[in-house]
């Protein structure tokens, strides 16, 4: 196979941006009011990816352990605050539990994949470490947002039912179990559907990128299988840990949901209605 990836000229890429006139025309004809949002999203995406591209080129050329780890810390911190914001529970009390759940899950699953499966030399090789952690973290982030949002919105809405279960002698875990199960189901269901149709409906991103980069299809498939397993393990474990680590800070010693958490989660669920992550 040809291992030379075809470069895209900047002029050609800028010209390709005119394709965005199609959704802009649709938005305008329907009066959706999304024109400004789309333009802002495109500008942010372009600037962010351009700056990240420059930084990644620097990371790949230096391949420094400390720079790579520093970048991972930045990724984890940004992802943590994204969970708190999009999950509708932007409270200080949840910062450390969410960061711990996200970091422990992502780094553990990525570490197993890097040290036991791929085994690059050195192990912190930025070409492997950054993309793998990024893919795992991105999907873990999505699962955490969905689980946290669904759990705290649900328990806030049905707080009287939860209290009734407590008065009937249920432990906190027994009382919360229906909402925990619903939140985990909400977090994992979409990725299960993706796993069931991968390769048939569409080629996944990692496999597509490797094939475009010149890798043999079977090599790309093995990497894709590994990353799909890693993503699902991190997504499910991360969502589960995130819920269990935030629960002690969300409920008082009597098992009641704290009022500020209830208000924050319920407001967040209503403002996030219809939002897709």
Segment 147-200, tens digit of pLDDT: 888 898 888 888 889 889 988 888 888 999 999 999 999 889 888 888 888 877
Locate 209 and state its tokens: 């990128």
Distance CA 138, CA 132 (A): 10
- List the domain range (segments joined by +) for residue 88: 64-271
Contact between 146 and 277 under an 8 Å Cβ cutoff? The reply is: yes
CA distances from 75 to 30, 38, 71, 169, 187 (A): 37, 24, 6, 43, 21
Q: In terms of domains, do 116 and 3 share one?
A: no
SS3 121: coil
Q: Which residues have a Cβ under 8 Å from the Cβ of 224 and sit 6 or more positions away?
A: 198, 204, 206, 207, 210
Give yes or no: residues 242 and 171 share one domain: yes
**Distance between alpha carbon 182 and the CA centroid of its chain, in Å?**
19
Same domain, 158 and 48: no
Residue 49 counted as domain residue: yes
Q: Is residue 277 part of a domain?
A: no
Based on the number of CB atoms within 10 Å of its own CB, is 24 exposed (0-12), middle (13-18) or buried (19 or more)? Answer: middle
Average predicted confidence (pLDDT) for the chain? 84
* pLDDT for 25 beyond 80: yes
Q: Is residue 216 part of a domain?
A: yes
For residues 186 and 248, membership in a common domain is answered with yes
**Locus of tokens 């780094």:** 107
Q: What is the pLDDT of residue 271?
A: 44
Q: Does residue 160 sit in the same domain as residue 264?
A: yes
Q: Domain total for the chain? A: 2
Write out pLDDT tens, residues 187-212.
Answer: 898 888 888 888 776 677 778 788 87
Least confident of 20-24, 89-93, 201-205: 89-93
209 within a domain of the structure (yes/no): yes
Q: How many CA atoms lie within 13 Å of 33's alpha carbon, on the beta-carbon side?
A: 0
**Do residues 42 and 71 share a domain?**
no
**266 shares a domain with 130:** yes
32 and 145 fall within a common domain: no
* Co-location of 71 and 50 in the same domain: no
């Amino acid at each position: 196979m040809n291992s030379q990836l075809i470069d895209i000229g900047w002029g050609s890429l800028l010209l390709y941006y005119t394709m965005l006139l199609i959704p802009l025309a649709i938005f305008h004809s329907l009066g959706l009011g999304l024109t400004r949002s789309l333009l802002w999203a495109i500008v942010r995406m372009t600037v962010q990816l351009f700056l990240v591209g420059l930084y990644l080129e620097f990371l790949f050329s230096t391949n420094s352990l400390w720079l790579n780890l520093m970048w991972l810390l930045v990724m984890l911190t940004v992802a943590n605050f994204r969970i708190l914001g999009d999950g509708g529970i932007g409270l200080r009390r949840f910062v450390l539990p969410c960061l711990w759940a996200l970091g422990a899950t992502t780094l553990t699953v990525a570490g197993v994949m890097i040290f036991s499966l791929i085994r690059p030399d050195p192990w912190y090789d930025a070409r492997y470490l950054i993309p793998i952690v990024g893919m795992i973290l991105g999907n873990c982030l999505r699962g955490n947002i969905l689980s946290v949002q669904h759990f705290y919105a649900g328990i806030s809405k049905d707080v009287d039912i939860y209290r009734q279960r407590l008065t009937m002698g249920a432990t906190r875990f027994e009382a919360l179990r229906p909402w925990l199960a619903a939140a985990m189901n909400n977090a994992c269901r979409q990725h299960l559907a993706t796993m069931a149709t991968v390769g048939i409906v569409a080629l996944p991103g990692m496999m597509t990128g490797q094939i475009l980069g010149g890798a043999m299809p079977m090599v790309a498939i093995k990497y894709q299988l590994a990353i799909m397993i890693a993503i699902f393990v991190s997504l499910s474990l991360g969502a589960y840990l995130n819920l269990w680590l935030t629960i002690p800070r969300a409920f008082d010693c009597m098992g009641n949901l704290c009022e500020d958490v209830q208000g924050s989660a319920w407001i967040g669920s209503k403002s996030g209605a219809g939002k897709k992550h």
